[in-house]
Amino acid sequence: MTRPVRVLFVPLYPRIWASSRYRAYLWAEALEREGFRCRVLDPPTSPAFRARYYATLFALAPQFDVVFIQKKLLPGPFLRLLRLLNPRLVFDFDDALFTRPTDLSDEAFSERAG
């Protein structure tokens, strides 16, 4: 008997935002109904919780078969660490790739970030 595929969803926004609800939360529920094991890592509610959020992400990533990242651009060092912990990353980008998420500083887009 094979074990179910485990998927970690990392949405950009909480469930109340339509883009994350449709691109992560509802997909996780649909996959669960099909036998997958899913967890959605809710985004931090304030900057004060950001360190705990990333610590949780890095602790969970190796436990899943796939990490599904919804519209989130991680700072370069964080992405490299996540890729070391779990190289099976799926990025869900929407049609506004040319815009910068409001939760990232300009530093994340500098030459040093990559």
Q: What would the 3-class secondary structure string for 34-75 be?
A: CCCEEEECCCCCCHHHHHHHHHHHHHHHHHCCEEEEECCCCC
Cβ–Cβ < 8 Å for 19, 13: yes
pLDDT band at 105 (very low <50, low <70, confident <90, very high): low
Tell me how far apart the alpha carbons of residues 20 and 1 are, in angstroms, rounded to a whole number. Answer: 33
- pLDDT tens digits, residue range 40-76? 999 988 888 989 999 999 999 999 999 999 876 688 8
Q: Domain-by-domain residue ranges, the chain?
A: 6-113
| Interior angle at CA 107, CA 101 and CA 108, nearest 5 | 50
- pLDDT tens digits, residue range 5-46? 999 999 988 999 888 999 899 999 999 999 999 999 999 888
Strand partners, 89: 67
Q: Domain 6-113 carries which CATH code? A: 3.40.50
